[in-house]
Amino acid sequence: MGILSSLFAPRKKVAPTPVRDLAAFRAEVADSDLPVIVDVWSESCAPCRQLAPVLVDVATRHEGRVRVVEVSADSEPALIARLKVRATPTVIIYERGEELGRVAGLSPGSWFDEMIEAEFPEGSS
């Protein structure tokens, strides 16, 4: 593959990692070396469906810098209780297992880019 092909070749999309129980939450979020964006969604939520491709794009563009995981509102009740989510979509930001903040509702990709740049500057780890 030539240099131009490598520069302009379509990048493989990175899907958010599904987390369905407390054990997976510990492994993917609480014990993560990377900051984690947690998307709590529900099947019947139209804004959740709109947010899904935004988070695939965020996970793809920021691969290796942040991790994106998704939690269905139908997941293990103990996990949903721990997250204390009242509405979907809710996005929760974690670093080193600690919640830094959350936002409910649909956020554009630019919001995620600005938040990542502000909270997790390149080379700060």
With a cut of 90, say whether residue 7 has pLDDT above it.
Answer: no
Q: Is 120 marked active-site?
A: no
Q: Could you tell me which residue, 7 or 84, shows the higher pLDDT?
A: 84
45 flagged as catalytic: yes
pLDDT given for residue 5 in this prediction: 56
- What DSSP assignment string belongs to 6-69? HHHSPPPP-PPEE--SHHHHIIIIIT-SS-EEEEEE-TT-HHHHHHHHHHHHHHHHTTTT-EEE
List 22, 24, 45, 52, catalytic entry: 45
How high is the mean pLDDT of the chain? 92
Question: Mapping DSSP to helix (H, G, I), strand (E, B) and coil, where does residue 3 land?
Answer: helix
> Can you list the domains of the chain with their CATH numbers?
14-119 (3.40.30.10)
pLDDT digits (tens, 9 = 90+) for 53-97: 999 999 999 999 999 999 999 999 999 999 999 999 999 999 999
pTM tops 0.85: yes
Residues 51, 54: Cα–Cα separation, whole Å: 5
Percent of the chain with pLDDT over 90: 87
Provide the pLDDT for residue 122. Answer: 79
Pairing of β 36-41 and β 17-18: unpaired
pLDDT > 80? residue 8: no
Cα distance between residue 69 and residue 46, in whole Å: 19
Pick the catalytic residue from 48, 58, 68, 116: 48
Q: Is the pLDDT of residue 124 over 80?
A: no
Q: 57 with 109: CB under 8 angstroms?
A: yes
